[in-house]
Amino acid sequence: MMHRFRASRWSPGNRLFPTVLEVSDRHVTRVKSSLIGRLEESISIRQVSSVTIARGALWSEIVVHSSGGTDPLRSRGHANPDAERLKELIEEYQSNLARIGVADTSGLRACPRCAELVKLAARVCRFCAAEIPIDLTEEADENDETSTARKDWTWD
């Protein structure tokens, strides 16, 4: 899943082509378009050493620092709450990577037996080999539209 953070068009340098920071579970990418083209620079999530936010009265400047020897990604003109969200998202991905080796846990759930994270669609846990009943999970119930449709179809 890709999260996009666009600088405000009302901030300096962003009127025609606002800078966009894109955060996926693998990369942070700064996208800047111009009349002559589109420039993309990115840092892998694993190589982000820190994210700093300089809060101004109206806008924040976000700087994503790299441990890989490349220049930091800078973007000015972001709404303050957006800047905070971006920083939290990157930090969450990094702590997930350090803890369980996966950045984005939204496609995962805990195994009911060993509590390790496995994919939503998994029927067998890859850690403890337990069979996972599909209908045990809330996620499966919510995503299963046919089962709710069946519930509505009654003869009462």
Taking CB under 5 A as the criterion, the residue among 39, 114, 121, 136 binding Zn ion is 114
Q: State yes or no: residue 132 binds Zn ion (CB under 5 A).
A: no
Q: State yes or no: residue 2 binds Zn ion (CB under 5 A).
A: no
- Provide the minimum distance between the beta carbon of 93 and Zn ion in the complex, in angstroms, as a whole number: 23
Taking CB under 5 A as the criterion, the residue among 9, 15, 113, 119 binding Zn ion is 113
- Provide the minimum distance between the beta carbon of 45 and Zn ion in the complex, in angstroms, as a whole number: 26
Q: Strands of 27-34's sheet, edge to edge?
A: 3-6, 20-23, 27-34, 37-44
- Provide the minimum distance between the beta carbon of 3 and Zn ion in the complex, in angstroms, as a whole number: 30
Q: Which residues contact 76 (CB under 8 A, 6 or more apart)?
A: 7, 11, 12, 13, 14, 19, 59, 60, 61, 62
- 65 within 8 A of 52, measured Cβ to Cβ: yes
What mask of x and - would describe binding to Zn ion in positions 65 to 104, judged by CB under 5 A? ----------------------------------------
d(CA 91, CA 138): 27
- 42 within 8 A of 32, measured Cβ to Cβ: no
- Provide the minimum distance between the beta carbon of 131 and Zn ion in the complex, in angstroms, as a whole number: 10
Binding site for Zn ion (CB under 5 A): 111, 113-114, 125, 127-128, 130
